[in-house]
């Protein structure tokens, strides 16, 4: 029998209760506990080799545990999310990060396989494509007292389906940002009394996702990148009494973040936390404006233009859908997004977690 730490017993008990059949629950919990202890590749076969040292196991039984799954993965995800949040983030806003990762899988009969850009192997001048699955991952940032940087713990995972697969199944195609909005909606539904701050890269810094965050402004704040020459406007003026015609949807045009930075007025030097838990000396320009898209309306944002004074990083421009958020908080929140890259690199190289979630 595997003896697990006392602190993990409530989690394993809740996981068992979330599965209908006791025998299936026992195998799932046993597999989960062994996967924590196994060294090297966290494949099903590697976990079973460890379990065979404790008790006789039938490999096909555990393989069918995933291939013929009858348990609800979303219910198990809620159990894990409750355990993580109640233990590590019991109070205050919950910081969450999102990203996408490609898991190579070239088999002819693999469901959902498509040709995706591999962000790890690609650069600004060279693009590498890979056949396989693209997973949309939502993780919670957890800060531990003995670590110099937060840890990104994956909570929800969704498979991206390309347009060809969606057309064959007669389903509406969803972008990565739309899928992420769905995952965030699930998380907000599970924890209706909590507020979330989400950080994502350019793929999630879209106007549609900014509108989604603005619609749930009391529960969700989006932090992402925005182009330095973005078109920003003042809020629409109030309509004058007795005036006919269509009311204005935006106010006067504002200088772009890049133009404000080039003017050199209003910049502030500060030291902020950067990628990987390090620190950077930067010069920051910030302002508030309305991000407008024709036919979609406006979203009030705070933008932050960052110049790296150490000379090792290019200039960056971030934004948040909460104008009250400070520039330091926006920069550090986006810098914390890097931790999900580390998590996904370890998952892809060491485990078949995402494939099992399919």
Instruction: Give the per-residue pLDDT at 133.
Output: 87
- Pairing assessment for the beta strands 196-199 and 94-104 based on DSSP bridges: parallel
Polymer length of the chain: 358
Instruction: Give the per-residue pLDDT at 356.
Output: 43
Alpha helices in the chain (DSSP H): 9-17, 22-37, 44-51, 59-67, 73-88, 163-169, 176-190, 207-215, 257-263, 327-336, 338-350, 353-357
Distance CA 325, CA 329 (A): 7
Instruction: Give the per-residue pLDDT at 350.
Output: 46
| CB-based contact 254:289 (threshold 8 Å) | yes
Tens place of pLDDT for every residue, the chain, 358 residues? 556 667 777 777 777 777 778 888 888 878 877 877 787 777 788 888 888 887 788 888 877 777 777 777 888 889 889 999 998 999 999 999 999 888 877 777 888 888 888 776 777 777 888 888 888 999 999 988 887 788 899 999 999 999 999 999 999 999 999 999 999 999 999 999 999 999 999 899 999 999 999 999 999 999 999 999 998 999 988 877 777 777 888 889 999 999 999 988 888 999 988 776 678 899 999 999 999 988 888 999 999 999 988 877 788 999 999 999 999 999 999 988 888 887 777 665 444 444 444 4
Instruction: Give the per-residue pLDDT at 261.
Output: 93
Distance CA 306, CA 165 (A): 40
- Rounded to 5 degrees, what angle do the CA atoms 58, 62, 66 make? 160
What pTM was computed for the model? 0.86
Phi and psi angles of residue 306, each rounded to the nearest 5 degrees, phi first: -115, 125
């Amino acid at each position: 029998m595997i003896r697990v730490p006392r602190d993990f017993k409530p989690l394993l008990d809740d996981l068992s209760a979330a599965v209908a059949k006791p025998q299936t629950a026992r195998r799932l919990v046993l597999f989960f506990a062994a996967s924590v202890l196994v060294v090297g590749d966290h494949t099903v076969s590697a976990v079973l080799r460890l379990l065979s040292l404790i008790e006789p196991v039938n490999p096909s039984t555990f393989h069918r545990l995933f291939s013929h799954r009858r348990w609800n993965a979303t219910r198990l995800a809620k159990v894990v999310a409750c355990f993580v949040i109640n233990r590590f983030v019991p109070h205050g806003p919950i910081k969450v990060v999102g990203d996408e990762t490609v898991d190579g899988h070239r088999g002819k009969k693999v469901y959902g396989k498509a040709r995706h850009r591999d962000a790890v192997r690609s650069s600004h001048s060279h693009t590498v494509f890979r056949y396989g699955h693209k997973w949309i991952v939502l993780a919670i940032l957890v800060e531990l007292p003995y670590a110099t940087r937060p840890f990104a713990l994956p909570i929800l995972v969704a498979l991206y389906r390309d347009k060809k697969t969606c057309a064959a199944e007669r389903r509406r195609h969803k972008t990565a940002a739309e899928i992420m909005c769905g995952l965030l909606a699930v998380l907000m539904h599970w924890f209706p009394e909590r507020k979330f701050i989400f950080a994502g890269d350019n793929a999630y810094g879209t106007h549609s996702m900014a509108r989604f965050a603005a619609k749930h402004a009391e529960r969700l704040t989006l932090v992402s990148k925005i182009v330095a020459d973005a078109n920003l406007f003042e809020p629409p003026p109030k309509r004058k009494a007795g005036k006919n015609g269509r009311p204005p949807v935006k106010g006067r045009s504002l200088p772009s973040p890049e133009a404000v930075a080039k003017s050199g007025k209003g910049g502030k030097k500060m030291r902020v936390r950067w990628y990987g838990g390090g620190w950077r000396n930067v010069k920051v320009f910030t302002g508030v404006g309305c991000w407008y898209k024709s036919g979609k309306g406006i979203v009030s944002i705070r933008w932050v233009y960052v110049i790296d004074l150490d000379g090792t990083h290019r200039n960056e421009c971030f934004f948040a859908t909460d104008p009250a958020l400070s520039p330091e908080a926006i920069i550090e929140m986006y810098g914390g997004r890097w931790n999900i890259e580390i998590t996904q690199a370890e998952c892809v190289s060491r485990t078949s977690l995402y494939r099992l979630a399919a």
